[in-house]
């Protein structure tokens, strides 16, 4: 007895899975060597910039007090800075023209202390 060959149904061609466009962009980026080197360099620079203060902290008190004479000195220079307390503005009698108490000189000295951050 002869057996007949089995009849096979036609097979549809396999279609690739649908993928978003970002998949192809990432795949192309990963294959580009100079682009990956640049991306790695940017990531390392960002990491150093963010972790810089933890790696090398500056524990000096009043490091930026803004005295020009001290800013021009070389590293390691030490100086003793004397600080005077801020003058309290004097209370003057109430004037009709000006409602701000104190003389002009006292107000200027007090304002100068506030701007310098001295308390």
Whether residue 13 lies inside any domain: the answer is no
Q: 0.95 cut: is pTM over it?
A: no
Asked if residues 70 and 79 have their Cβ atoms less than 8 Å apart, the reply is: yes
pLDDT grade, residue 31 (50/70/90)?
very high
Whether residue 63 lies inside any domain: the answer is no
Give the angle subtended at the CA of 114 by the CAs of 111 and 119, to the nearest 5°: 130
Asked if residues 46 and 52 have their Cβ atoms less than 8 Å apart, the reply is: no
Whether residue 29 lies inside any domain: the answer is yes
Whether residue 68 lies inside any domain: the answer is no
88 versus 73: the higher-pLDDT residue is 73
Whether residue 9 lies inside any domain: the answer is no
Phi, psi of 6 (to 5 degrees): -65, 145
Whether residue 6 lies inside any domain: the answer is no
- The count of domains in the chain is 1
Whether residue 44 lies inside any domain: the answer is yes
> Among 84-88, 96-100, 104-108, where is mean pLDDT lowest?
96-100
Whether residue 32 lies inside any domain: the answer is yes
Range of the domain at 43: 22-55
């Amino acid at each position: 007895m002869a057996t007949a060959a089995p009849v096979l149904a036609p097979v549809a061609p396999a279609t690739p899975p649908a993928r978003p466009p970002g998949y192809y962009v990432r795949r192309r980026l990963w294959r580009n060597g100079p682009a990956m080197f640049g991306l790695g360099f940017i990531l390392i620079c960002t990491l150093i910039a963010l972790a810089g203060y933890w790696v090398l902290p500056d524990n000096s008190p009043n490091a930026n007090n803004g005295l020009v004479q001290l800013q021009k000195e070389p590293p390691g220079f030490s100086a003793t800075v004397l600080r005077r307390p801020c003058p309290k503005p004097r209370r003057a009698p109430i004037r009709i023209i000006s409602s701000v108490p104190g003389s002009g000189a006292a107000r200027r000295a007090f304002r100068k202390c506030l701007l310098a951050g001295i308390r």
